[in-house]
Structure 1
Amino acid sequence: MHSEIRQEYIKRIHYVLDFIEKNLDTELSLEKLSQKAHYSSYHFHRIFLIIVGENLNEYINRKRIERIASILLVDVKRPIKELAYIYGFNSDSSLSRSFKKYYGVSPTTFKSEGKKILSKIGIESLSIEKYICSITNIKKWTDMNAQITVKQLQEIKLAGIMRIGAFEKIGESYQKLMEWGYNHHVLDTSNFKAITIYHDNPNITQISKVRHSACVTINKAIKAEGEIRPLAIQKGNYVIGNFTIDANEFPKAWKSLSVWIMENGYEFRDGDYFEIYLNDHETHPKKKFIVDICIPIEQTKTSNTKSLANNKSKTTNVSEKLDYHDLIAYMKSIRTFFINEYDSEFTFGAIYQGKKDFSYFSLTTEELKKQKLKFVIIFNHKKMCFSICLSGQNKSIRKKYWEMFKNSNWNHYHLAASIDESLSIMDSLIVENPDFEDMQKLLAQIEIESFKFINEIRAILE
């Protein structure tokens, strides 16, 4: 993975960690924090776990306990019940159990002996070096235990039984499916597969509440019959990791495949995460599972690179290779990408293409909309560059905020020389001389640089 993309992952998680630290006494939901990181909640927890080494709930719980411990070190008179209430524990006894599990003593004992036990348990700050070290170890394990491919799968028709929790009973579900399928003559015997689909992820949902479906491939459409129902794996691009592993290595295999996706510049796609079992582990000499683990991705690098090239002959002059319609199509693909990733947080405007010199689209949050402000991502067709600006609904709004920034000492970005001649209040160059031969890399650059600008401006305005 390119170093700038790796740094962006860590930068976004750093931003979330700072936000958590400052807001431990407030509700810290997955949805809120994933929006802060500008990831979908569906994928945020995976990236957080890989980079931080703890799942989100564990991390927040630990930081709250540490905060309470640090308070007790300097204020022994502070009521434990009050601290439990402030930091989201159901009761002081609930806090006491969690506190003792972490520190080895109750909060009451910690009041008198805390300084002797320890001052404060902290966690080593994230760094590129620490992340690379952790990822290197995972890569070594992956190289030894997996063969990874990227391919497009066609739709797979399935019959399935969904359960909540109770993973140990999944064998019973497969047995029922096999008997039912055999009696109804619907099993796809020519290309039979046993598949487990995960509708929830154990890193977010409690194990006892995780929904999963045991499935078998079928050769024709079926109707629901009791607990057996029709399901399907949707056609699309997937990263597929083939593993030969022990039962206790499944979590490590899932994590290693997620790391591989991040390190190789692919984008997670919302869809079914599933396992395809390729053997009966009871017959394996070492009782190992041979399994394909499948994670949906947006698109392959190859198809992305070709998407706008239009099969034209190569030339050093990009403007000769991509005509106006190609560039508008690419702007539409950028807008579609932003909508897919950030629709829960931003409202998007249409592509403006009134002049052939430039095209753009806007995005804004509910909070900025109240202030009649918006961000605009612009492509200059003549200068062949992408930029982003802060703009306003009308001239008076633009002038108001232009004067605010002009009269401040904050000068991180270029301020318009005069609001009379500009729709921009403040702007930043995103990508100069874009490389349209590598669309995946270009899209990543646009996303990274856009949100660097957006996050800094939002921190001031919101």
Structure 2
Amino acid sequence: MNETRREYIKRINIVLDFIENNLDTKLSLEYLSKKAHYSAYHFHRVFLTLVNESLNEYVNRKRIERIAAILLVKPNSSLKNLAYKYGFNSDNSFSRAFKKYYGISPTKFKSEGKELLSKIGIEPFSSEKYICSIDNIKQWTKMNAQITIKELPELKLASISNIGNFEKAGSMFQKLMEWGHQKRVLDTSNFKAITIYRDNPNITQTSKVRFSACVTISENINTDGEINQHNLKKGIYSIGHFEIKAEEISKAWKSMSIWVIENGYEFRDGDYFEMYHNDHKTHPEQKFIIDICIPLQKTENIKLGEINNLDLSKYKDNLDYHQLISYMKELRLFFQKEYDTIFKLGKIYQGAPNFSYFSLTTDELKKQKLKFVIILNHKELYFSICLSGQNKSIRKKYWKIFKGSDWNKYHLAESIDNSLSIIDQTILKNPDFNNKRNLTERIEKESLKFINDIKNILE
């Protein structure tokens, strides 16, 4: 990229950020061109070239989309107040602008907005492409998300923005990482990779959704071409932790929005973003481990730190999710210390609210692409162990071998389609977490018995 274009992008990004945060103020060409340090005439041409919309079209679209987004979640809002707040001088000018963009009046949009958005290629809020009812959404969320409410501190971010070109996100992050290492400004002690969505994809067509790839930095930076600083403000967020495939991310966002509404919380103007915890390419199932973060208003019913998707009444001894994970870490550490010359241990999987696990394998098993997995079922509260494989095809191969034999000492999975297990055994029910030493010894004994039995059969 030549230096002139870098400078153009830098200045236009500053203006786009300003517009987004000030849609309810006067945004004239003269005022915004001064923000970009260009003459009005020159600024207008640069803006049109880079954004592919005139300034006036862009501002009007953003304001109309903001109003439409509000109407989708608060259909009883006063149109007159919204129009006045977002810069329209009269009901007639607002109605004309709204109808020009959506094809119907704002009054009709209140009742028919979701159907209309579907017709122009924007999925409505309760998308039937993925889910057929609110109950199904709740069930999907329960099975796939751990949702907490937290107050996040301010984060300093270096960001690159783009409009619609989501396939470029990977190269944007790579560029930020290379730049950050070169400048020595990456916050390596608290590193986070984040995507901020500047538009609501339920309202804005995908090709026009503006987003920013961001990484945490340790100090303030000067704008460097297309790389800007963005401070993620301190605030309260509902945070959904997911381990899902790429095609499920859209569903996760919809389920989180519905969760906020169903639980009586209020959306807050702020940054809606994804935070990444892994490189999905290294995941055995190519899954993303992400947090989806939605800003909330601070109201009386907000309880910080509450885990909302777990039925804690089903945990015995008043154990919560974090205590169960804490014990799993202790158990893994025990196996690591006692059997470090025999087993190689995998990390603890904790991407689902109802269970956690870690794997054990040997050099010989690794050649066969097999592993053992110790699992804690959080809801029913029991430990089990299974023989598993590195991928579905390996699991299927060995499942067929066991199914075709007459060996029936342990339980064979009914189907391999949605199962981590090839063959498994419940090793301990109703564990007593008040006596962890005894608990660990019992799990050790039963696990080794299962492992040795399976290894003998495999040999």
TM-score interval for Structure 1 and Structure 2 normalised by the shorter chain = 0.3 to 0.5
TM-score by length of 2: 0.41
TM-score by length of 1: 0.41
